[in-house]
């Protein structure tokens, strides 16, 4: 968790809702898929910037449990982009010591994507730099239900033991701290089922820019805005 009490104002964990690929493309008279291609380039630039700034965890909302409602052709395109990225960019992750992780419901993913994710997770397992968590087939409510199911499988239905800590311990990546800062592009004021449990006390930064236009300067602005915020976690401090 980002710590301001010790004088540090850098968020430990940043989550990003990368919105506006489709609108960016439409504005330019291009197919929606071009927006996703550009969006991937932006993601790579921001991953690199975040790692250089010293961010420890970066969660990218790549594909939600609701995104299956899109045209099959668009869904296939996004999945193929993810696959391509994981196969082609391993050197990039290696050079920057970045560890790749996944959050989301693996059951709903095609076997080839699952295999690619497993490979990337294994290949980067020992990298000790920033951790990039790809939220793919991810929904916050779905994640909470899966955590509760894990708990019930282990504990045989002892509901009295089901507390907040039990849910947290049974999330996909229980060692990953809660996000401190969530960035959303394309000017939407919605959480869209992103990190519902973990973002209870996250600070939000929303920009009108479409994701393909989001640049490292915008990322730095988000970090500066975060640094100026006072986080009280429900307490009274003055």
List active site positions.
Answer: 19, 67
**Strand ranges across the sheet with 13-17:** 99-103, 131-138, 57-64, 13-17, 181-184, 203-206
Which of these, 213, 220, 196, 229, lies nearest to 42 by C-alpha position?
A: 213
Question: Whose Cβ is closer to ligand FPP: residue 81's or residue 171's?
Answer: 81
Q: How far is the CB of 85 from ligand FPP (least distance, A)?
A: 5
Question: Whose Cβ is closer to ligand FPP: residue 20's or residue 147's?
Answer: 20
Q: How many CB atoms lie within 10 A of CB 82?
A: 21
Q: How far is the CB of 230 from ligand FPP (least distance, A)?
A: 31
Residues that bind ligand FPP (CB under 6 A): 18-23, 36, 39-40, 43, 60, 62, 67, 78, 81-82, 85, 134, 186
Question: Whose Cβ is closer to ligand FPP: residue 2's or residue 39's?
Answer: 39
Q: How far is the CB of 44 from ligand FPP (least distance, A)?
A: 7
Question: Whose Cβ is closer to ligand FPP: residue 158's or residue 188's?
Answer: 188
Question: Whose Cβ is closer to ligand FPP: residue 86's or residue 147's?
Answer: 86
CB 40 within 8 A of CB 210: no
Q: How far is the CB of 79 from ligand FPP (least distance, A)?
A: 10
Q: How many CB atoms lie within 10 A of CB 154?
A: 12
Radius of gyration of the chain (CA): 18
Q: How far is the CB of 77 from ligand FPP (least distance, A)?
A: 9
Alpha helices in the chain (DSSP H): 21-27, 32-53, 72-88, 90-95, 111-124, 140-155, 164-169, 216-228
* Closest residue by beta carbon to ligand FPP: 22
Beta pairing partners, 16? 60, 183
Which of these, 200, 101, 63, 79, lies nearest to 144 by C-alpha position?
A: 200
């Amino acid at each position: 968790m980002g710590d301001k009490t010790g004088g540090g104002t850098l968020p430990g964990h940043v989550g990003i809702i990368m919105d506006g690929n489709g609108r960016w493309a439409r504005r330019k008279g291009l197919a929606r898929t071009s927006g996703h291609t550009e969006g991937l380039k932006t993601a790579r630039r921001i991953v690199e910037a975040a790692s250089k700034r010293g961010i420890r965890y970066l969660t990218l909302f790549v594909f939600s449990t609701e995104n299956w409602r899109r045209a099959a052709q668009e869904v296939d395109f996004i999945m193929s982009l993810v696959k391509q990225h994981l196969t082609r960019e391993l050197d990039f992750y290696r050079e920057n010591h970045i560890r790749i992780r996944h959050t989301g419901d693996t059951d709903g993913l095609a076997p080839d994507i699952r295999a690619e994710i497993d490979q990337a997770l294994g290949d980067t397992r020992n990298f000790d730099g920033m951790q990039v968590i790809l939220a793919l087939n991810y929904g916050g409510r779905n994640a909470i239900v899966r955590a509760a199911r894990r708990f019930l499988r282990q504990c045989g239905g002892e509901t009295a033991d089901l507390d907040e800590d039990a849910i947290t311990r049974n999330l996909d990546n229980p060692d990953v701290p809660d996000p401190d800062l969530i960035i959303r592009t394309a000017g939407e004021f919605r959480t869209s089922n992103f990190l519902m449990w973990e973002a209870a006390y996250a600070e939000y930064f929303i920009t009108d820019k479409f994701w393909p236009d989001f640049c490292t300067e915008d990322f730095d602005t988000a970090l500066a805005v975060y640094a100026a915020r006072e986080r009280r976690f429900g307490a009274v401090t003055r």
